[in-house]
Amino acid sequence: MKLLFLTLLWLLTPLVNAEAPSNKNIIVLNESSPIKTNKGLIWRDDSENATIDQVIKRLEEFKPVSELLNSKNENKSGTYWVLATFRNDLNHDYLMRLGALDKDSSVYIVEQDGKITPVKIQPNRKYNDFADINPEIDHEISSVSRFTLTQISKGRQTTIISKHIDYTIRKNDFPIAYWDHVKFLEWSRFNVYFQGVLLGLFIALSVFTFYYAYINKDSASFVYALWLLLAVIGILITQLYGGDKLSEFFINDKDINSSDLFVSFLQYNLGLLSSYLFLIFGIISLNIINNFPTIYKILVGLIIYSVFLDATIFVIDLNNYEFIKYIAEYIWYISTAPNLIMHITFIITSLILMSRGFKLAFPLFIAALVHASAYVIPALYSEEVVNALPRGLSFLYPELLPYLCSSVQALIMACSIVTRIRYMQDQLNLKTEAHRVFVENQNRVLEETVAERTQDLKLEAQKSERLMLNILPQSIATRLKAGDEGISDSYQNATILFSDLVGFTKMSSSKTAEELVFLLNDLFKRFDTRATSLGLEKIKTIGDAYMVAGGLPTQDESHAIQVTKMALGMYEDLDAFNKEHGMELGMRIGINSGPVVAGVIGHSKFSYDLWGNTVNTASRMESTCLPGKVQVSPSTYDQIKGHFDVQENQIIECKGLGQIMTYFVK
């Protein structure tokens, strides 16, 4: 008998427990009931695998969200069970819609008699199979409504228990909403109407803007057209309350492969892409590249960084990589913060240009504020805001608010395009007027300019002539100016001198390049002065070697004597140089006389040079000479003997001459 009593008690326990919460949390359904209700009790399932039968036995543990929420549970994910009891006092059955349920959720109806009935959850975010059919024609349709519905009979009391997996509990939040399905359909229809109005506005503007951008090849208009196109796509994929969206009447996206992935990508990145396009539009319109080059580089760099980062985060999140969980708390700093910096920088830049009187700055400044409000206003949206709205505006729910702001922004951007056209026309008129004034000024000062240029040309010609005389003998320069090309002359008797410094290489290793050039220049200027005074022609210098000639291009019978004087004088110049600079450089000098060929070579750089065996022999005289001596060949000796103290030196081998006697000039 005792065993039978315990068995009956165990069987009746669920019925007693099922009834218990109803006395504490009964929501009465009558004519004054709201369309939406999200009240009830909640219980955290720490085991995460409790069954409905186990939950029924623990109904006394269900609490309001405010009581369950504490520092331990706030923002903590887990499995939660929700309970709400409804009593239908209406004179008809009540059709209830259960909102925001995912595929892992579970819903059970517990009647007053303890009967538990599971509810089939429908994917209310998917395509509406009934949106594009004719209701007056018979159809064989296997699909069911996309809404999760349940019926509460009149005069009855029903408890709804739902399970929510991986839910995060927050303040003033509830896992599930309960809707009056019939009233909701009537209330929400204006959202679709308004969505259609916005869609028509954006399509009309985008078609016009694409045409204008194509005709005028205007980059800012093209970016604006792309921005409008993104707005059109955004409206088409935006879901309203209950999953309604305008596009479902003509686009069956459930038949598109990977449509969920595509729509997810657009929903995740559309706002960011629109934001970047608006910034690019503003950068072009405000001509920031010229007005603020540094800010231009910063904005472009941040846009490139943000686009790359957003794409990377989306791919990482899409593939469910584990480490996305570790960086989740830093996403705002590395993703949202740069975007915020870009918009603040753009707004400040617009203010600066407004202060400078830049006409395009004001509409873009207003557009930037409206663009920011598209993200700020939905974040501030609440039931208090809805209740404060004038009657008839309560349809403005967060899903459409950004596009309402975007429509205002689109009109302002269109106005900025018109302002930009007027601005470009004004700039063109200013350039035309400036060109006219410029032409008048040019005509007025043309004669003065011609006179000044003529004088300048004379001065330049004099400079060029002096430069040419520094490179070439005067007679050769005169022939070149006269148009003579291929200048070459033969001289039967000329005297060539070569000199080379001794100890120069050792000295140069301890000098800087500037010091070395300064010293050589000082010494060779002394040689140049002496050559000019003796009527000789300096040919060239090669490193520390110096070459001078006598008897050309102007012939002179005393050229050998003059060159010999030059050689002896060069030692005097070297002694003075050494004393002045505290150096001990030596020198070898070789002289030879005979026939030579002289001419000008080169095209871009002229060079007056000598060729022939006489030149080679003079070089040989220098290379075999002792430091501090002047060594001359027999041909030179024959022309200077009697004028200088000359003594025999040695016999050397010369190419083309064989063995010859050399002489030293004292």
CATH code: domain of residue 149: 2.60.40
User: For 430-454, what is each residue's pLDDT tens digit?
Assistant: 888 888 888 888 788 887 777 777 7
Q: Give the pLDDT confidence score for residue 312 in this predicted structure.
A: 76
Residue 260 located in a structural domain: yes
Q: Is the pLDDT of residue 209 over 80?
A: yes
CB 589 within 8 A of CB 665: no
Q: Decide: residue 283, CB within 10 A, 0-12 exposed, 13-18 middle, 19+ buried.
A: buried
pLDDT at 385: 58
Same domain for 214 and 328, yes or no, is yes
pLDDT above 80: residue 267: no
Is the domain of 362 the same as that of 407?
A: yes
In this structure, is residue 476 part of a structural domain?
A: no
517, pLDDT greater than 60: yes
| Whether residues 384 and 248 fall in one domain | yes
Is the pLDDT at 190 greater than 80? The verdict is no
**Model pLDDT for residues 340-354, shown as the tens digit of each residue:** 888 888 889 999 988
For residue 449, being part of any structural domain is answered with: no
Torsion of CA 441, 443, 448, 450, to 10 degrees: 130
Contacts of 481 (CB under 8 A, 6+ apart): 465, 468
Tokens encoding 558? 């005393």
pLDDT tens sequence across 228-251: 998 888 888 777 766 667 766 666
Three-class DSSP labels, 87-136:
EECCCCCEEEEEECCCCCCEEEEEECCCCEEEECCCCCCCCCCCCCCCCC
Q: Can you give the residue range of the structural domain that contains 217?
A: 195-433
Count how many domains the chain has: 3
Structure tokens at 641: 């003997």
Q: In this predicted structure, what is the pLDDT of residue 451?
A: 77
User: Between the CA of residue 278 and those of 201, 223, 272, 303, 327, what are the distances in Å?
Assistant: 18, 8, 10, 11, 28
Neighbours of 627 (CB within 10 A): 13
119 and 240 both lie in a single domain: no
Q: Is 468 part of a structural domain of the chain?
A: no
**Which of the four pLDDT bands, split at 50, 70 and 90, describes residue 17?**
very low
479 belongs to a structural domain? no
Residue 461's pLDDT band, with cuts at 50, 70 and 90, is low
pLDDT at 442: 79
Is 70 exceeded by the pLDDT of residue 393? no
Judgement on whether residues 168 and 203 belong to the same structural domain of the protein:
no
Q: What stretch of H or E contains 523?
A: helix 513-533
Q: What pLDDT was estimated at residue 324?
A: 55
Task: Assess whether 203 and 116 both reside in one domain.
Answer: no
Stretch 254-262: mean pLDDT:
50
User: 258-272, 275-289, 329-343 — which is least confidently predicted?
Assistant: 258-272
399 and 510 assigned to the same domain: no
Per the domain annotation, does 181 fall within a domain? no
What are the helix (H) ranges across 381-481?
Answer: 383-388, 401-471, 474-481
Identify whether 440 is part of a domain: no
Query: Which of 402, 418, 433 is the C-terminal boundary of a domain?
Result: 433
What is the average per-residue pLDDT within 534-557? Answer: 88
The answer to whether residue 402 scores a pLDDT higher than 70 is: yes
Clarify whether residues 222 and 296 are in a common domain.
yes
What integer pLDDT is reported at residue 486 of this predicted model?
A: 64
Helix, strand or coil, per DSSP, at residue 171: coil
Residues 372 and 516 in one domain: no
183 within domain boundaries: no
* Mean pLDDT, rounded, of the chain: 80
For residue 327, the model assigns a pLDDT of 60
Last residue of a domain, one of 433, 464, 496: 433
Quick one: pLDDT at residue 593? 92
Is 424 a residue whose pLDDT tops 60? yes
Q: Are 331 and 313 in contact (CB under 8 A)?
A: yes
In this structure, the answer to whether residues 414 and 492 fall within a common structural domain is no
Q: What is the pLDDT of residue 378?
A: 57
Angle, vertex CA 642, rays to CA 629 and CA 587, nearest 5: 10
Q: Both 527 and 658 in a single domain?
A: yes
Residue 268 has pLDDT above 80, yes or no: no
3-state secondary structure 22-63: HHHCEEEECCCCCCEECCCEEEEECCCCCCHHHHHCCHHHCE
CATH assignment at residue 497: 3.30.70.1230
The span from the CA of 207 to the CA of 241, in Å, is 30
Whether 373 and 263 share a structural domain? yes
Q: What pLDDT does 468 receive?
A: 59
Q: Which residues pair with 162 in a beta bridge?
A: 82, 107
Which of the two residues, 390 and 31, has the higher pLDDT score? Answer: 31
